[in-house]
Structure 1
Amino acid sequence: MNNRRIALIFKAFCDENRVEILEILKEGEHCACELLDKMQISQSTLSHHMKILIDSGIVESKKDGKWMHYRINKTGCEEAIELIHYFEDTKERIPSCCK
């Protein structure tokens, strides 16, 4: 994995709005209109965050009519987990807050 890809994955998790989007998407696929209603943010703000999440590979999208639908990308999440393991110090246990 190259450094750019690593940075994109970490960037996906370093904003409260993106974490909230991921929490919503844990429930399953949602269209942009549902995310907008649940988060009370503007369409342009949502688009900004979704681009970062999609570029990271953590979220995938599909267009249905005029709306975009988003869902968690299992493969992208597995890559993020592998990345964490790559950087962990195997001599020490992972703190319970990070499990």
Structure 2
Amino acid sequence: GQVLINLNTDKVKFDIGKIDFEGGKNLPVRDGDIEFDKYIKDFKKGFRDFYLIFEELNKTEEFKMLLKANLYGLKTRVLFRDTNSYASV
């Protein structure tokens, strides 16, 4: 990202550099921090399994009707940028 360098001098400018963010509170914990790297394969498998089930369900008319009945008129919001981009606005 772009960082400010030479702050408080007459040579202040923006340059490409590393930006450090404070850690969020969105990581799992259980009796202390969890090393989530150990669970990447499980996460991918769970996502893949769910996606395949959803893909099959989506082929049925019953499921499409259920979605329309429950989601019709639902207010949504559209994000045009990723979360980090919004943080820098």
Please give the TM-score of this superposition, normalised by the length of structure 1: 0.21
Higher strand share: 1
Please give the TM-score of this superposition, normalised by the length of structure 2: 0.23
Higher helix share: 1
